[in-house]
Every structure is written in C-alpha cells, then in structure tokens.
Amino acid sequence: MPRAKTHAAVILREYHKAESELIGKAVVLTDGKAGTVEGLHLDEAHGLRLSVAGHPGKWPVSTIMLAQK
C-alpha cells in the first residue's frame, strides 16, 4: 500500500476510535462548558474538534478536562 494511503488509514482508524470513546459521553471542558459530546469533526487547521450538546461551536479535544468513563 502506498505510504500516503497507509497514513490516511491510520488517521481514519484513530478518528473512529475517538468517536466510539467520546460520542454520547459527558465531558467538562477547561472553559467550564459541560455536556454530552454530540460529534467529532476533523478540521484541517485545528485537528480533532468536538461539539457539545447545548453549546454552539466546536472545541479541540485537548480542552477536555473531565470525561465520563
């Protein structure tokens, strides 16, 4: 498999893993926003971002301070 295709497959595999670990889980972000993760989004400029129920916008996953287990 070409190298670029291998990298793309790894990115997609990790994206789906993150989806299964975070979608539907309660989170608290570093700015105090809290709610259930509604979706994950890949952003060219910012990487992996999440949307939280009840709060318009998308935040980097690195801002998760606390997540439901």
14-37, pLDDT tens digit by residue?
Answer: 999 999 999 999 999 999 999 999
pTM greater than 0.95 (yes/no): no
Per residue in 39-61, pLDDT (tens digit) is 999 888 888 999 999 999 999 99
Per the structure, the count of domains in the chain is 1
Whole-number pLDDT of residue 34: 96
Q: Are 25 and 36 in contact (CB under 8 A)?
A: yes
Which CATH number is 55's domain given?
2.30.30
For 38, the domain range is 3-67
